């Protein structure tokens, strides 16, 4: 079974996964950070999420081995992904993936830094690629704006779909900037609330 969800708050994501486990669904994998693949299994173990920057092979293997030694098995994630999903392999009540609350909430700080870097990169790309462009450059004929009446309406209606297609790439980068800025503030808000 597939479920589609997007979470900024990892604690809420873990609560969602816990609810699915209570309903008898085992997390098999997560793709694209919002597609959750479940299978029907009666496994009642704790699932936890860690957020890390990309790692080289050696660091990643050390990270996975360390967590395996402490009773956590990787369900989903790889050296290039940021989110890593683990399931507890131990039978004790100690279900913490983190040694301290501070280390638990530092993942939000890392998320905030990642998102703010992405937002800044998106804005730099936009400014670099669109610094000299104007909206009228998207139209094939600048004479269009000198037309009047029905001639203008016909020409405008003919060119509008093509202009919109030409503008989509120009809108993606500002939308990415807005999205990553939103994620930055959400992660910062969660981190501040948690560290108080």
> If DSSP codes are grouped into helix, strand and coil, which group holds residue 17?
helix
Q: Which residues 6+ apart lie within 8 Å of 187 measured at CB?
A: 8, 108, 109, 111, 112, 115
pLDDT tens track for 91-148? 655 667 877 878 888 888 888 888 888 888 888 877 777 665 555 566 666 677 778 8
Q: What is the pTM of this model?
A: 0.71
What length does the chain have?
196
Residue 76: name the closest of 113, 11, 124, 29 by CA. 29
Beta-ladder partners of 31: 35
pLDDT tens track for 29-50? 998 888 999 999 877 788 899 9
For residues 166 and 138, the answer to whether their CB atoms sit within 8 Å is yes
Alpha carbon of residue 21 to chain centroid: 23
């Amino acid at each position: 079974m597939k479920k589609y969800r997007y979470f900024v708050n990892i604690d809420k994501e873990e609560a969602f996964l816990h609810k699915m486990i209570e309903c008898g669904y085992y997390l098999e994998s997560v793709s694209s950070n919002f597609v959750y693949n479940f299978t029907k299994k009666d496994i009642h173990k704790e699932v936890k999420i860690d957020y890390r920057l990309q790692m080289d092979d050696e660091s990643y293997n050390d990270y996975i081995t360390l967590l395996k030694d402490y009773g956590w098995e990787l369900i989903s994630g790889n050296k290039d992904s940021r989110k890593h999903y683990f399931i507890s392999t131990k039978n004790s009540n100690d279900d913490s993936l983190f040694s301290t609350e501070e280390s638990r909430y530092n993942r939000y700080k890392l998320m905030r830094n990642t998102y703010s870097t992405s937002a800044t990169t998106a804005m730099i790309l936009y400014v670099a690629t669109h610094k000299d462009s104007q909206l009228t450059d998207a139209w094939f004929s600048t004479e269009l704006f000198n037309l009047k009446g029905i001639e203008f309406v016909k020409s405008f209606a003919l060119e509008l779909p093509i202009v919109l297609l030409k503008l989509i790439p120009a809108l993606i980068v500002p939308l990415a900037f807005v999205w990553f800025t939103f994620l930055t503030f959400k992660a910062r808000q969660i981190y501040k609330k948690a560290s108080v």
